[in-house]
């Protein structure tokens, strides 16, 4: 099959719109949001009004149905415009692991109830799978859901939940059949703010991605109607949670791609302005090589991510590709972050310079959404089949 990565008129329009918004509205707030560990609801409302919160949602429910490649390009444009990576993480998570799961697995009634509010940004979404004792081993979750009449009663604690402190609706994975070991006894539920018995626990103070609020989610006799089961009982992990990993590893790469482009822009500007030994440091071969290597990382990452986004849009299985790119991208952004700080020298360690923030933000790339080690395991198993 011919791979056509040419950008459509729709892609070009959303790229231009998002990058302009990022430079004018998001970048000026990035330093403050990072320092305060604050998510800007005002910024979020503006994004919702522009249609940015529903890029993956069908037009029928108020979204743009932009697909994987188009959404990657939009998030890349935000990163390239200097948007805070934490805000982008919350934005991408809302779209991929919350709204997309409801769109993929939900009944028509569930879609009509939740997706329009999520597309407009009125409601913010999250997904609650990880627990204090269940990270990479998702099948070991202990949060329980017991059916009582026309409701399920949820009890347990989730950990490291992106958008946990601010979410209005969450896709929650709980164990419904304790007699079954591993992932087969788990079910997904749509839990919204109208249901009693759940609340954000401790807000977590993170090293990076600080504008993306993260917390525990605590469920204490939370009453969830039977009609809020997402998919079928027993499909919570093997179906709902794992079906979206290719999307997650692809869409969440968008801000990293754009952020690397923004870092290169900053490094070139600094290298031209900073003088040592009577001339700009951009004239030194050592600095030129660093700039060339950063540019090469960007090009390599772009084509990896564009390729798998194209595969998703064309319904081609790509678990091997997304597993490989996930850990490789983590290496690339770590390298770019390190070299960007190095080019800036002592100033690169100062919080007044954005490269310092990116250095902290990008550690998440090797941990969130599946650790580098887990993704290497998956890729190796597929290679050895």
- N- to C-terminal Cα distance for the chain? 24
Sign of CA dihedral 240, 243, 247, 250: positive
1 confidence band (pLDDT: 50, 70, 90): low
Residue 135 pLDDT greater than 70, yes or no: no
Residue 153 pLDDT greater than 80, yes or no: yes
Range 348-361 average pLDDT: 97
pLDDT at 86: 98
Print the SS3 string covering 97-134.
HHHHHHHHHCCHHHHHHHHHHHHHCCCCEEEECCECCE
| Separation between Cα atoms, residue 347 and residue 303, nearest integer Å | 32
| Separation between Cα atoms, residue 15 and residue 73, nearest integer Å | 6
For this structure, is 131 an active site residue?
Answer: no
Catalytic position from the list 15, 19, 131, 248: 248
pLDDT at 385: 85
Q: What is the largest CA-CA distance in the chain?
A: 79
Can you give the pTM of this predicted structure? Answer: 0.95
Residue 202 pLDDT greater than 90, yes or no: no
Q: At what angle do helices 319-344 and 254-273 cross, to 10 degrees?
A: 20
Closest CA to 340 of 357, 325, 352: 357
Range 35-52 average pLDDT: 98
pLDDT digits (tens, 9 = 90+) for 280-329: 999 999 999 999 999 999 999 999 999 999 999 999 999 999 999 999 99
pLDDT digits (tens, 9 = 90+) for 73-111: 999 999 999 999 999 999 999 999 999 999 999 999 999
| Separation between Cα atoms, residue 160 and residue 88, nearest integer Å | 17
pLDDT at 183: 78
pLDDT digits (tens, 9 = 90+) for 174-198: 999 988 877 789 999 999 999 999 9
- Find the angle CA(165)-CA(168)-CA(169) to the nearest 5 degrees: 110
Percent of the chain exceeding pLDDT 70 equals 99
Collapse the DSSP code of 309 into the 3-class scheme (helix H, G, I; strand E, B; otherwise coil) and give the result: helix
Residue with tokens 């979750």: 141
Residue 72 pLDDT greater than 70, yes or no: yes
Range 50-76 average pLDDT: 97
Supply 278's token pair: 């009577």
Mean residue pLDDT of the chain comes to 95
Distance from the Cα of residue 328 to its chain's centroid: 17
Torsion of CA 367, 369, 371, 375, to 10 degrees: -150
Range 151-160 average pLDDT: 97
Torsion of CA 313, 294, 324, 240, to 10 degrees: -50
Q: Which residues of 1-28 are buried (b: 16+ CB within 10 A; e: fewer)?
A: eeeeeeeeeebeebbeebbebbbebbbe
């Amino acid at each position: 099959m011919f791979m056509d990565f040419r950008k459509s008129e729709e892609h070009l329009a959303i790229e231009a719109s998002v990058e302009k918004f990022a430079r004018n509205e998001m970048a000026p707030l990035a330093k403050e949001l990072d320092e305060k560990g604050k998510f800007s609801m005002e910024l979020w409302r503006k994004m919702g009004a522009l249609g940015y919160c529903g890029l993956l949602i069908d037009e029928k429910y108020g979204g743009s149905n932009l697909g994987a490649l188009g959404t990657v390009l939009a998030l890349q444009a935000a990163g390239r415009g200097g948007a805070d990576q934490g805000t982008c993480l919350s934005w991408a998570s809302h779209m991929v692991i919350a709204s997309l799961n409801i769109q993929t697995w939900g009944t028509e009634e569930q879609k009509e109830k939740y997706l329009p509010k999520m597309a407009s940004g009125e409601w913010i979404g999250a997904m609650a799978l990880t627990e204090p004792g269940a990270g990479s081993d998702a099948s070991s979750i202990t949060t329980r859901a017991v059916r009582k009449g026309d409701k399920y009663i949820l009890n347990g604690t989730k950990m490291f939940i992106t958008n946990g402190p601010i979410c209005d609706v969450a896709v929650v994975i709980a164990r419904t059949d304790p007699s079954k070991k591993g992932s087969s006894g788990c079910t997904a539920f749509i839990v919204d703010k109208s249901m009693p018995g759940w609340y954000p626990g401790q807000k977590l103070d993170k090293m990076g991605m600080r504008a993306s609020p993260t917390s525990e989610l605590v469920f204490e006799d939370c009453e969830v109607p039977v009609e809020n089961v997402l998919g079928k009982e027993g499909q919570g992990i093997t179906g709902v949670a794992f079906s979206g990993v290719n999307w997650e590893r692809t869409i969440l790469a968008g801000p990293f791609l754009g952020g690397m482009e923004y870092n290169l822009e900053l490094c070139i500007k600094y290298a031209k302005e900073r003088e040592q030994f009577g001339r700009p440091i951009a004239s030194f071969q050592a600095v030129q090589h660093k700039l060339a290597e950063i540019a090469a990382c960007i090009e390599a990452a772009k084509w990896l991510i564009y390729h798998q986004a194209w595969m998703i849009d064309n319904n081609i299985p790509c678990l091997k590709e997304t597993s490989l790119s996930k850990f490789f991208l983590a290496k690339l952004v770590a390298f770019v972050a390190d070299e960007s700080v190095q080019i800036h020298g002592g100033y690169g360690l100062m919080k007044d310079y954005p490269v310092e923030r990116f250095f902290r933000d990008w550690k998440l790339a090797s941990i969130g959404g599946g650790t580098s080690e887990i993704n290497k395991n998956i890729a190796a198993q597929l290679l050895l089949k």
